[in-house]
Structure 1
């Protein structure tokens, strides 16, 4: 037999013996516990993230949402609903003023998105939009830059009827995020508001960013 063949046989025998010794040692030290490929590689599968990257998972009878207001007049707001980004700078569907998304309160289907310039726009556009909201619709609103210069009493009343506590007091460059609904009997628990105050503003002329997440109960037919 050639030397090469002998070396191959010896190498094979050595490999088998080493494998048997390693397996015996491993079994003894692990008390016959099973091991996965991910454990061999030193990492476990990442835990699934909650919808919209929220801290808490929402129950099946509710919708997950996450709202972030604009940052001064530089970074626009964003709206995530059931892991779908409804409005954001990336989607290029936001604008200065009020950014609004309408959602079917039963199915979670996006019905419409729009933005209203509350500094130099026409308040009639916002009024027409608010009056056309159908009963049972969820209303998500996020401010950007200035939400209130063009705001009048009629618009404040219509938004208050959606469940807002702060629509009546919105002022120049205030920051505001809100989730309400057409037909609510009580005020919404999903609302945050920061007044534009030079003593407390985080940015030069604007308050800090607002961020809110939560679970909205589905409307039952």
Structure 2
């Protein structure tokens, strides 16, 4: 029975191969274009489009794509991607506990990234920010214990609504800009609370993606 079954399978394969050869030869002789099964399937099945930063939606031509992911407790570090470039992540090994900040100069499209836990270093990083610079921030572990009023004021001037009340082990992600004349719509904040924390002593991770205008106003 097994031999008979094998012979039947071979007969089917030989028949299909012969048919394919005949059709290909006929189409070649008549000058018609032969389309392979693989190429036909490739056209029939649409391939998913990979957007910048792997975002769910693409951005218009006059917008930048971004994605910000906060840290998870004190275990998983944050990541920040801007216009398809990952500036900070655990893989790049350039994150730190506290506040992780990326500065992007849209005119020359240059990025600078750093993590901070100490006030003096943070102020030295923030004060020279030039007009039009886009600022991305992601918290990791505890972003607020060492923040002073001056630093909170700088973040507020960049468009933050939550910097002034950021507290111990809160989770915070933010995108603002120097010279922004309104509150930024790109901000998420979740308080550290025993009643709502997802992790032991920390709130859940935050994730935000979207499109930011190239022209800051």
Q: How would you bin the TM-score normalised by the shorter chain? A: 0.7 to 0.9
TM-score, normalised with respect to structure 2: 0.81
Q: Aligned residue for 1:37?
A: 38
- SS at 1:140 equivalent: strand
Q: Aligned residue for 1:75?
A: 76
Q: Aligned residue for 2:7?
A: none
- SS at 2:151 equivalent: helix
State how far apart, in whole Å, the 2-side matches of 1:82 and 1:188 are: 18
Q: Aligned residue for 1:87?
A: 88
Structure 1: tracts of 5 or more residues without a match: 1-13, 24-33
State how far apart, in whole Å, the 1-side matches of 2:18 and 2:205 are: 65
Please state if 1:135 is matched with 2:99: no
Q: Aligned residue for 1:217?
A: 213
Q: Aligned residue for 2:177?
A: 181
The equivalences for 1:93-108 within 5 A come to 93-108=94-109
Contact 1:73/1:144 (<8 A) preserved: yes
Structure 2: tracts of 5 or more residues without a match: 1-14, 25-34
Cα pair distance change 1:19/1:103, threshold 3 Å: closer
Q: Aligned residue for 1:6?
A: none
Please state if 1:165 is matched with 2:161: yes
Q: Aligned residue for 1:198?
A: 194
Cα pair distance change 1:168/1:21, threshold 3 Å: same
State how far apart, in whole Å, the 1-side matches of 2:17 and 2:190 are: 71
1:46 positional shift: 2.1
- SS at 1:219 equivalent: coil
Contact 1:116/1:125 (<8 A) preserved: yes
- SS at 2:72 equivalent: coil
Q: Aligned residue for 1:208?
A: 204
Q: Aligned residue for 2:12?
A: none
TM-score, normalised with respect to structure 1: 0.80
Contact 1:38/1:45 (<8 A) preserved: no
How many pairs align?
A: 196
Cα pair distance change 1:40/1:22, threshold 3 Å: farther
Cα pair distance change 1:99/1:37, threshold 3 Å: same
1:63 positional shift: 0.5
Q: Aligned residue for 1:47?
A: 48
1:22 positional shift: 6.1
CA RMSD in angstroms comes to 2.8
1:83 positional shift: 1.1
1:49 positional shift: 0.8
1:139 positional shift: 0.4
State how far apart, in whole Å, the 2-side matches of 1:153 and 1:139 are: 19
